[in-house]
């Protein structure tokens, strides 16, 4: 898919079409940065959560130390108190690696979809400007029909190229999206139950995690709406 992106950028000659692709690439960059920022903030908040009890022991000490917390519920076959530091480091590594994998895969998917939307926008632009560049004294010329026919053919070719690229995205991501969205739905259901039923010290963490899941779902499912809008725009431009 990346090779297709490089090839498409290299073949664009028109300034208007280049501006269209820049617009959609900037939108893809904005979406990926928003996604990475939300993942970073969520990760920092969740990693910082186990530091709350030690800080409270310093600021508001009790007769005994507060119970130490983990980032997420997990069961290890060792003494949790004795090996707390090792287990906490392991959880941080697991969460960071998982976040990196999701960010890399989702960023690639989002940018590919936005590139496809840019190709659809170019198709829409070409259909709307079939007769662009025709001089006034040539408008009644027999060459006009050939000129329009050639531009319509170019528009159809651009549309077919965009559809082929969308098919390539679907082929490369349908298994990943099925697994990712399925896991998201299950996690959201579990998080909703925990937020509704738990009123202990982990309630805030569950709320943060739930918000991150909902934003993740919005990013993944919103790409389909972008494609639908692009296809509708092509249809309305004909």
Residues in the chain: 238
Domain count, the chain: 1
- Is 143's pLDDT higher than 90? no
Q: What is the 3-state secondary structure (H, E, C) of 105-144?
A: HHHHHHHHHHHHHHHHHHHHHHHHCCCCCCCHHHCCCCHH
Q: What is the pLDDT of residue 201?
A: 67
Question: Is position 89 within any domain?
Answer: yes
Q: Output the CA–CA distances (angstroms, integers) from residue 159 to 35, 36, 71, 110, in the order listed.
A: 29, 31, 48, 20
Quick one: average pLDDT of 21-38? 92
Q: Measure the CA–CA gap between 226 and 231, rounded to whole angstroms.
A: 9
Q: Determine, yes or no, domain membership for 39.
A: yes
Map residue 74 onto helix, strand or coil: coil
Contact 21, 9 (CB under 8 A): yes
H/E stretch holding 45 reads helix 15-48
Residue 237 has pLDDT above 90, yes or no: no
Determine, yes or no, domain membership for 5: no
Q: Where on the phi/psi map is residue 133: left (φ > 0), alpha (ψ -120 to 50), or beta?
A: left
In a domain, 149, yes or no: yes
* Average pLDDT over every residue of 22-42: 91
pLDDT of residue 135: 47
User: Looking at the domain assignment, is residue 6 inside a domain?
Assistant: no
State which residues form the domain around 59: 14-236
Residues 6+ apart with CB under 8 A from 42: 208, 209, 211, 212
Helix (H/G/I), strand (E/B), else coil: 198: coil
Which structure tokens are listed for 21?
Answer: 């692709």
In a domain, 3, yes or no: no
CA–CA separation, 162 and 8 (whole Å): 10
The mean of the pLDDT values for the chain is 84
Q: What is the pLDDT of residue 27?
A: 94
Tell me the mean pLDDT in the region 184-200: 83
* Average pLDDT of the residues in 53-59: 78
What share of the chain in percent tops pLDDT 90?
A: 26
Angstrom distance (rounded) from CA 197 to CA 203: 9
Identify whether 64 is part of a domain: yes
Question: Mean pLDDT over residues 135-157, rounded?
Answer: 69
pTM: 0.82
What pLDDT shows up at residue 141? Answer: 61
* 173 inside domain: yes
For residue 197, give every residue at least 6 positions away whose Cβ sits within 8 Å of its Cβ, in sequence order, or none. Answer: none
């Amino acid at each position: 898919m990346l090779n297709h992106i490089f090839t498409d950028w290299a073949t664009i000659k028109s300034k208007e079409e280049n501006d269209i692709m820049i617009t959609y690439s900037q939108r893809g960059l904005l979406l990926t940065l928003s996604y990475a920022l939300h993942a970073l903030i969520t990760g920092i908040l969740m990693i910082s959560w186990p530091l709350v009890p030690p800080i409270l022991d310093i600021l508001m000490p009790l007769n005994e130390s507060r119970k130490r917390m983990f980032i997420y519920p997990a069961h290890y076959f060792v003494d949790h108190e004795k090996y707390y530091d090792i287990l906490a480091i392991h959880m941080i590594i697991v969460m960071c690696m998982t976040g990196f994998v999701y960010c890399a895969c989702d960023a690639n998917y989002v940018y590919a979809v936005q590139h496809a939307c840019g190709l659809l926008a170019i198709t829409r632009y070409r259909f709307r400007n079939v007769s662009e560049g025709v001089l006034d004294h040539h408008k009644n010329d027999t060459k006009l029909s050939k000129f329009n026919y050639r531009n319509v053919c170019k528009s159809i070719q651009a549309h077919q190229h965009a559809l082929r690229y969308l098919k390539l995205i679907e082929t490369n991501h349908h298994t990943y999206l099925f697994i990712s969205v399925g896991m998201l739905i299950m996690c959201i259901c579990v998080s909703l139950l925990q937020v509704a039923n738990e009123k202990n010290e982990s309630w805030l963490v569950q709320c943060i995690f739930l918000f991150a899941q909902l934003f993740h779902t919005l990013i993944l499912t919103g790409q389909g709406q972008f494609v639908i809008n692009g296809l509708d725009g092509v249809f309305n431009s004909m």
